[in-house]
């Protein structure tokens, strides 16, 4: 093989030097359907594909962070402010502002001069003020916060404050962290926490939760979408004490973090179209007389038709017994399906107050109902059923791939 | 907002540097109308071939300082050093955020973070003059000379220093 000529080499060097990936991606995206994550992995390793489709059911919506080396930090900071806004409690917001500002005392304790960090505290307080104003003005959704976090300076200044707090907290509580580090704590803080554009790792994330999130009473859980042994997505609770039950969910893929939204949070949306369901308690009958509609290619070309399915380990069959009451009711629609009818680019509906009695969506170990929804296009209402055979895991990927709403 | 924050921060740093300057270093904005353009004077560290020299450099700050680092360039030439480009631009890890390393070299050394300061940069540059890092040279010729023909390197530096002083 010929070696590259110096000219070519130089050109490649230049290309690599100038390469800026995802230049126009926003720092924080609007809410998006998690089904697109499932589709991204549909052809990937089976473990990943299975986990990704589970994810799309339990957490139908997500928010993508730009991969600029700050994504984990930004996801936590945005999730924190978004949760505060969703509560719409000015007193609590005020209380949090005071708490977050007073945390700057930690920076003094580790010898940071006020004039170096003051501007970052101010930038963070500014986001609090905007959140306060948004609550007062009755803003319907968190678009203002997305905008604020897409202003690079303010956004990065808040992250810098959180980085400095994390670093100071670790230095003041070394016993909690130093055993998990492969290098001296001081050096770890200087190279992995304080330095701009260094991605957060597990130790740093735990410390960030401990110093910033824990005191707010919010929980923070991490769902890891990786090729780990177990084929279920088990959330890691980073804040075991969750007094108010409100949880920020992070999706962690190797080297990247995004935000996730569980089904419960978006369930109070008024449906924009009528749905008709076909749910049967008698699958065996279907087996015997497979419907001609089953996975018919014409059927699959109907826009907006989708199927959500999750495969519980060891329980491949779905029975009525596993259908949750919420999903069985014709007026309660799983939000994955509801959102199917809304454009991902559309500004999403207002976040309802997060229910205080927060229940995690159905665990993957419990079989979820298979539901097919179709907007009613004619008065007689088309009913569609899926043969249970298609729910075999090995068919799930082709099912997802053949769905017509795929980009 | 960004630039007013940067201005405020730079003014603080200027005030601190002028009331309590580190030994051998003077720095400040060229004109008070523009806080984003500074000039610095660094004395050559004692016990090195740079001793006796005074090196002028310009510092240019980005609008989002301190989130991004400034750039630094020796003006008037005369700094023959492995980590200084022939045009005078200083290449030192503290001036680069991670992922922005012109030499694609993973330093364990200190990178830019918003709690660094002009003072820390200038002190780092001063110690860089005393102890070059030849693993990622900006001036390959100088690095080779420093590594292989140290005496010649030191003589060349001394000559440049004298020339710079007009001797």
Domains of chain B with CATH codes: 5-165 (3.10.110.10)
Burial bucket for residue B137 (CB in 10 Å: 0-12, 13-18, 19+):
buried
Matching CATH number, A23-261, of 1.20.1250.20, 3.90.1170.50, 1.20.1740.10, 1.20.1300.20: 1.20.1300.20
What pTM did the predictor assign?
A: 0.66
Q: How far apart are CA A344 and CA A61, in angstroms?
A: 10
pLDDT, position A325:
43
The per-residue pLDDT of chain A, averaged, comes to: 73
Choose the closest CB to A153 out of B2, B108, B115. B2
Q: Name residue A359's beta-bridge partners.
A: none
pLDDT, position A310:
42
Residue B144, φ and ψ in degrees, nearest 5 = -65, -45
The verdict on A200 touching B (C-beta cutoff 8 Å) is: no
Q: Name residue A257's beta-bridge partners.
A: A252
* Residue predicted with more confidence, A81 or A338: A81
Q: How far apart are CA A130 and CA A82, in angstroms?
A: 12
Choose the closest CB to B98 out of A160, A164, A197. A197
Q: Which residue has the tokens 């969506």?
A: A361
Q: Yes or no: say if B79 and B135 are a contact pair by the CB < 8 Å rule.
A: no
**Is B91 a known active-site residue?**
yes
Report whether pLDDT(A245) > 80.
no
* Residue predicted with more confidence, B109 or A280: B109
Report whether pLDDT(A165) > 70.
yes
The verdict on A156 touching B (C-beta cutoff 8 Å) is: yes
Lowest mean pLDDT segment, chosen from A70-79, A102-111, A288-297, B158-167: A288-297
Report whether pLDDT(A353) > 60.
no
Distances from the Cα of A115 to the Cαs of A323, B13, B22, in angstroms? Answer: 58, 8, 18
Q: How far apart are CA A105 and CA A112, in angstroms?
A: 10
Report whether pLDDT(A97) > 60.
yes
Q: Yes or no: say if A371 and A330 are a contact pair by the CB < 8 Å rule.
A: no
A70 contacts on B by Cβ (under 8 Å): none
* Residue predicted with more confidence, A65 or A386: A65
Report whether pLDDT(A354) > 80.
no
- Average pLDDT by consecutive 10-residue portion of chain B (167 residues)? 79 91 93 93 92 93 90 87 92 75 52 88 93 86 93 93 80
The verdict on A152 touching B (C-beta cutoff 8 Å) is: yes
The verdict on A153 touching B (C-beta cutoff 8 Å) is: yes
> Which residues of chain A form CATH 1.20.1300.20?
23-261
Q: B114, B118, B119, B124: best mutation site toward chain A, by most A Cβ within 10 Å?
A: B114
Contact A196 B67 (CB under 8 A): yes
Contacts of A243 (CB under 8 A, 6+ apart): A217
The verdict on A147 touching B (C-beta cutoff 8 Å) is: no
Which residue of the set B6, B17, B42, B91 is catalytic? B91
Question: Rounded to an integer, what is the distance from CA B21 to the centroid of its chain?
Answer: 16
pLDDT tens string A183-230: 999 989 988 898 878 889 999 999 999 999 999 989 999 998 887 767
């Amino acid at each position: 093989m010929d070696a590259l000529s110096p000219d070519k080499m130089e050109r490649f060097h230049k290309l690599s030097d100038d390469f800026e990936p995802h230049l126009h991606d926003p720092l924080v995206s609007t809410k998006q359907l998690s089904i697109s994550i499932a589709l991204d992995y549909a052809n990937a390793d089976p473990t990943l594909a299975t986990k990704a489709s589970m994810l799309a059911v339990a957490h139908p919506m997500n928010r993508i962070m730009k991969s600029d080396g700050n994504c984990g930090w930004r996801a936590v900071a945005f999730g924190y402010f978004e949760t505060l806004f969703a509560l719409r409690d000015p007193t609590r917001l005020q209380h949090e502002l005071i708490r977050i500002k007073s945390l700057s005392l930690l920076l003094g304790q580790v010898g940071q001069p006020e004039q170096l960090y003051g501007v970052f505290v101010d930038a963070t307080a500014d986001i609090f003020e905007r959140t306060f104003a948004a609550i007062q003005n009755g803003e319907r959704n968190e678009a203002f916060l997305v905008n604020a976090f897409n202003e690079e300076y303010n956004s990065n200044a808040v992250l810098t404050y959180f980085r400095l707090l994390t670093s100071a907290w670790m230095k003041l509580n070394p016993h909690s962290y130093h055993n998990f580090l492969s290098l001296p704590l001081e050096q770890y803080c200087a190279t992995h926490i304080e330095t701009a554009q260094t991605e957060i790792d597990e130790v740093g994330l735990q410390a960030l939760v401990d110093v910033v999130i824990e005191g707010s009473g919010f929980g923070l859980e991490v769902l890891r979408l990786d090729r780990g042994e177990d084929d279920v997505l088990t959330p890691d609770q980073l804040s075991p004490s969750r007094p108010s039950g409100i949880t920020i969910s992070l999706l962690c893929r190797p080297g990247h973090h995004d935000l996730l939204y569980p089904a419960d949070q978006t369930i109070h949306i008024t449906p924009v179209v009528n749905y008709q369901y076909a749910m049967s308690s008698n699958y065996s009958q279907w087996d015997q007389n497979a419907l001609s509609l089953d996975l018919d290619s014409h059927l699959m070309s109907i826009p907006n038709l989708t199927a959500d399915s999750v495969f519980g380990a060891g329980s491949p069959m779905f029975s009525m017994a596993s259908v949750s009451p919420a999903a069985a009711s014709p007026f309660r629609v799983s939000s994955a399906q509801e959102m199917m009818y809304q454009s991902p680019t559309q500004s999403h509906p207002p976040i309802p107050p997060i229910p205080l009695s927060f229940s995690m969506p159905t665990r993957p170990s419990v079989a979820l109902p298979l539901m097919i929804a179709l907007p009613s296009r004619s008065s007689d209402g088309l009913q569609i059923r899926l043969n249970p055979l298609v729910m075999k895991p090995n068919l799930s990927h082709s099912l997802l791939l053949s769905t017509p709403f795929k980009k | 907002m960004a630039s007013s924050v940067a201005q405020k921060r730079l003014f603080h740093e200027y005030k601190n540097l002028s009331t309590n300057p580190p030994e051998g270093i003077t720095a400040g904005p060229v004109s008070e109308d523009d806080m984003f353009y500074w000039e610095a004077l660094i004395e050559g560290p004692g016990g090195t071939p740079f001793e006796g020299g005074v090196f002028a450099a310009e510092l240019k700050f980005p609008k989002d300082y301190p989130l991004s680092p400034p750039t630094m360039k020796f003006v008037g030439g005369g700094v023959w050093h492995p980590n200084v480009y022939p045009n005078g631009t200083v290449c030192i890890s503290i001036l680069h955020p991670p992922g922005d390393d012109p030499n694609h070299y993973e330093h364990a050394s200190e990178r830019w973070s918003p709690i660094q300061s002009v003072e820390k940069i200038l002190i780092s540059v001063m110690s860089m003059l005393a102890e070059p890092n030849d693993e990622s040279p900006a001036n390959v010729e100088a690095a080779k000379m420093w590594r292989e023909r140290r005496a010649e390197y030191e003589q060349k530096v001394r000559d440049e220093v004298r020339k710079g002083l007009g001797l």
